[in-house]
């Protein structure tokens, strides 16, 4: 979702329609991740008339939810096809959403210090240069502004990790090479990562990258799976299906 706007490689273009349906119906996103992200945002303060950037917004599910709550929302993404889907699904919100074709690693259409909050939902793993994306976040946030993100849990989703069945029939997650940072793509996996892969980073790499740009971690959430998700992916009965956090831009950062 986040290559340079003039680059030919926008992996989500190839799966845009499938991904649109997936986001709406997959329990991991519809029942767990998106509600958890919205709770973190709502706990950050009043949303009415707040100015928010949905970074790597995809087809705009989170952006529309924020607009319905009265926020002024700008959504950017590198995938033209996902943006076309976003524009085709109007929402009866107090303020219109601004959809822009842009790269989260650059944010060329985003002015410095122009947002009260930034959200990046399940997209940081798609971005090759994490440091560049977080520099964009810090640059466009006003002092004291919040940043909420959701990612695949780096301690669970990693190169060579996979679901396994124990002799007693329980589904567990087999760990892989946690320290092998870089792009990986699970072969034959049915979900998003099997189609577009991910850039794996250790938890410390995420935390240090946030600190480097002046974003302080304020809250961390490892949400519980819903019954529907457990039925679909039994291993999530014992494991967090995602990792979410809310950060604040430090004064002077």
Domain limits of the chain? Answer: 11-153+202-249
Q: Which residues does 196 contact at the CB level (< 8 Å), separation at least 6?
A: 11, 12, 15, 126, 185
User: What is the torsion angle, in degrees rounded to the nearest 10, for the CA atoms of residue 89, residue 93, residue 98 and residue 103?
Assistant: -70
Rounded Cα–Cα distance for residues 166 and 33 (Å)? 27
**What pLDDT sits at residue 5?**
37
Q: What is the pLDDT of residues 86-99, one digit of tens each?
A: 999 989 999 999 99
Rounded Cα–Cα distance for residues 189 and 170 (Å)? 19
User: Rounded to two decimals, what is the model's pTM?
Assistant: 0.94
**What pLDDT sits at residue 10?**
84
**What pLDDT sits at residue 9?**
63
Is the Cβ–Cβ distance between 152 and 193 less than 8 Å?
yes
**What pLDDT sits at residue 7?**
43
- Largest Cα–Cα separation, the chain: 56
Q: Which residues does 224 contact at the CB level (< 8 Å), separation at least 6?
A: 32, 240
The pairing of beta strand 115-121 with beta strand 141-151: parallel
Out of 3.40.50.20, 3.30.470.20, 3.30.930.10, 3.40.50.150, select the CATH number for domain 11-153+202-249.
3.40.50.150
Beta bridge partners of 174: 162
Beta bridge partners of 160: none
Instruction: Give the pLDDT of the chain (253 residues) as one tens digit per residue.
Output: 443 334 436 899 999 999 999 998 999 999 999 999 999 999 999 999 999 999 999 999 999 999 999 999 999 999 999 999 999 998 999 999 999 999 999 999 999 999 999 999 999 999 999 999 999 999 999 999 999 999 999 999 999 999 999 999 999 999 999 999 999 998 878 889 999 999 999 999 999 999 999 999 999 999 999 999 999 999 999 999 999 999 999 987 7
């Amino acid at each position: 979702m986040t290559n340079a706007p003039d680059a030919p490689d926008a992996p989500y273009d190839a799966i845009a329609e499938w991904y649109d349906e997936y986001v709406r119906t997959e329990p991991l996103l519809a029942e767990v991740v998106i509600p958890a992200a919205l709770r973190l945002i709502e706990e950050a303060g009043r949303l009415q008339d707040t100015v928010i950037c949905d970074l790597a917004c995809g087809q705009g599910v989170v952006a529309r939810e924020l607009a319905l709550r009265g926020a002024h929302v700008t959504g950017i993404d590198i995938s033209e096809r996902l943006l076309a889907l976003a524009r085709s699904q109007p929402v009866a919100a107090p303020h219109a959403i601004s959809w822009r074709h842009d790269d989260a690693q650059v944010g060329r259409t985003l002015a410095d210090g122009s947002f009260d909050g930034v959200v990046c939902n399940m997209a940081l793993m798609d971005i090759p240069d994490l440091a560049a994306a977080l520099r964009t976040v810090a640059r466009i946030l006003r002092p004291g502004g919040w940043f909420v993100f959701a990612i695949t849990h780096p301690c669970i989703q990693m190169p060579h990790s996979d679901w396994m069945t124990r002799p007693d029939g329980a589904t567990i997650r087999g760990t892989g090479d946690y320290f092998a940072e870089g792009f990986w793509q699970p072969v034959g996996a049915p979900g998003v990562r099997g189609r577009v892969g991910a850039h794996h980073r250790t938890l410390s790499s995420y935390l240090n990258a946030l600190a480097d740009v002046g974003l302080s971690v304020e809250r961390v959430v490892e949400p519980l799976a819903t019954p529907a998700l457990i039925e679909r992916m039994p291993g999530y009965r014992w494991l967090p299906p995602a990792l979410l956090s809310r950060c604040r831009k430090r004064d002077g950062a």
